[in-house]
Amino acid sequence: MHYQAHAKVNIFLKIVGKRGNYHELLSRFMIVPSLWDTLSFIPKKSTEAFELVGEFNCALEHNTLYRIFEVLKTQGFGKEVERVMSEYALHVKKNIPTGSGLGGGSSDAATFLKMLNERANLGLERDEMMRIGSDVGADVAFFVSGYESANVSGIGEVVEKFDESALDIEVFTPPLACNTALVYKTYREYFLQSMDQALALNMVDLKSTELLKGFSKEALNDLFPACLKAYPELGAYAKEGWFFSGSGSSFFRIRAK
């Protein structure tokens, strides 16, 4: 059985505060119906405790999928998930680019969490999976929620459904991967003083179509100027009518009819 792990875009993303070493945000996340990674369990060929099949650019111990496996073990489900992963390898077909601001790693992690919950009969409710997912990555809780659109706050752990269907989103990703840590570091150094909580609070009540019609990409995403500062070559891809997702590098718009 194949499972789809959809991409997301940030309709808006506003930095509204700091919590220790993290930035608190207020953002509208929306699923991209036309873009997803595909995950599946396949018969295992190795004797490794956790076999992952796919193209990844990080060490296994840093992969969000492996971290889901490890976190579930710390939550008391070691025997159950180890039994599943002793029989199966996890196969991932990547379509969501890395370093694109589309949440591919978090979406994969959320989908794998749901797969293990089902296959290992863990009996976890959605809220429990959202809490576990938050221990792995800031965006995982949104993808676990199953919402098409949501206002996300805190450091990503607070997810509130927004009553609208996902738009028909067209995504363009330049041949450039943005490092999230570098983008946030650049924001702290050059743009932290520009936080506008009042504007962010106004945005949460507006429909996504209203936001995209009423604001520029610069006003909608606080990280866009920081990303341009860190990656000046990104400016060549910043076309009129396209908006910027997350910490980059992807642009998006409503697909033309």
pLDDT digits (tens, 9 = 90+) for 62-75: 899 999 999 999 99
pLDDT at 133: 96
CA distances from 57 to 13, 39, 52, 121, 132 (A): 26, 17, 13, 31, 24
Round to whole Å and give the CA distance between 94 and 171. 16
pLDDT at 58: 85
Cα–Cα nearest to 246, from 4, 1, 9: 9
Give the residue ranges of the chain where pLDDT is below 70: none
Burial of 103 (0-12, 13-18, 19+ CB in 10 A): buried
Question: Which distant-in-sequence residues (6+ apart) come within 8 Å of 118 by Cβ?
Answer: none
pLDDT at 1: 87
Known active-site residue 44: no
Round to whole Å and give the CA distance between 94 and 187. 29
Among the options 8, 14, 114, 217, which is catalytic? Answer: 8
pTM: 0.95
CA distances from 15 to 60, 96, 103, 129, 138 (A): 31, 25, 18, 26, 14
Q: Which residue reads 């608190």 in tokens?
A: 24
Round to whole Å and give the CA distance between 28 and 26. 7
Cα–Cα nearest to 29, from 179, 134, 158: 158
β-sheet bridge partners, residue 32: 7
Known active-site residue 114: no
Tokens of 72: 């579930």
User: Please, what are the domains in the chain?
Assistant: 2-161 (3.30.230.10), 169-254 (no CATH)
Among the options 37, 139, 217, 222, which is catalytic? Answer: 139
pLDDT digits (tens, 9 = 90+) for 115-172: 999 999 999 999 999 999 999 998 999 999 999 999 999 989 999 999 999 999 999 9
Torsion over CA: 143, 138, 191, 230 (sign): negative
